Amino acid sequence: MTYGSTAANAVASINGGVSMLTFSGHGSTTSWGDMSFGQSNFNQLNNDGMYPGVLSHACQTGDYSVGTAWCETWTRTGGRGGLWFFGSVPSTYWDEDDIMERAEFEYFLEDDIYWPMGFGTGGKLAVYEYYSGGGASKYYFEGYNLMGDPSVWMWTWPDVTGIEDETTGLLPAGLAIQVPNPLRSGGMVTITGSIGPATLEVYDISGRVVARPFDGQLTSTESFVLNTSDLATGVYFLRLTQAGEVTSSKVTVIR
């Protein structure tokens, strides 16, 4: 859906089983504006068992000071609604929301950050980086919150997250890097590949190698603590190389 879509279009799409629902426009504590999607439209949903994640870039849709906030309607109504709801308590701004939305999907689709608090926080960091910590940066960090499970991985098709393992959960297929994002002083990194020599390097945004946390024999999967205490705040790229195959992951270091 795009500009000019109606509430009926949205209801049909949600009932059809979309995985991610994003609204960008005017809002209130109990509805979305523009297409005028309110309680009566929500009551037409029958998406039981097909709950999408909800990104609400609109004023006040995350304000839970009212009797039943719009975020609560979506996450606490049985048989319909969403798996989680990411929205703002106060009013928001067009430019900052646009920066934030684009970054959320960049973290989700390009950087393989599939858990909502991960790519949601990525959107906040993009606002912070764009305004160098000024402007509405603090306002956005405080205003946007998530209701629902912050750690659930969103479903994608094709399933790029890998295969299901009863003991360890989701394991990436082929070369893969799993790293918390953002990092404050360090975090547990897991790399996966074939059995054999492999190298993991950390690059700064200028392309300079600033660390080489792994350079040795990879035995399918290795986990270790990546110490970032010596790195300045900013964006870095982790690059895993093995037998001519390369994969990378972007991570933001903050203080």
pLDDT tens per residue, range 100-153: 999 999 988 888 888 899 999 999 999 999 999 999 999 999 999 999 888 788
pLDDT at 170 exceeding the cut of 60: no
Residue 39 has φ and ψ, to the nearest 5°, of -60, -40
Share of the chain above pLDDT 70, in %: 91
Q: What is the CA radius of gyration of the chain?
A: 20
Q: Phi, psi (5° rounding) for residue 221?
A: -140, 130
Average pLDDT taken over every residue of the chain: 86
Q: Return the minimum-mean-pLDDT range out of 167-176, 183-192, 220-229.
A: 167-176
pLDDT confidence tier of residue 160, bands split at 50, 70 and 90 = very low
Contacts of 207 (CB under 8 A, 6+ apart): none
Higher per-residue pLDDT: 220 or 1: 220
pLDDT of residue 5: 81
109 in the Ramachandran plot: left (φ > 0), alpha (ψ -120 to 50) or beta? alpha
**Rounded Cα–Cα distance for residues 94 and 126 (Å):** 14
SS3 57: strand
pLDDT band at 157 (very low <50, low <70, confident <90, very high): very low
pTM of the full structure = 0.62
Following CA atoms 165, 168, 169, 172 in sequence, which dihedral angle do they give, to the nearest 10 degrees? Answer: -80
pLDDT given at position 245: 87
Distance (Å, whole) CA 226 – CA 224: 6
Contact (Cβ atoms closer than 8 angstroms) between residue 183 and residue 228: yes
Structure confidence at residue 233 as a pLDDT band (50, 70, 90):
confident
Task: Give residue 225's Cα distance to chain centre.
Answer: 23
Q: Rounded distance, CA 244 to CA 215, Å?
A: 15
- Spell out the domains of the chain, with CATH numbers in brackets: 7-148 (3.40.50.1460), 163-253 (2.60.40.3080)
Q: CA-CA distance, 124 to 96, in Å (whole number)?
A: 9
Per-residue pLDDT, 60: 97
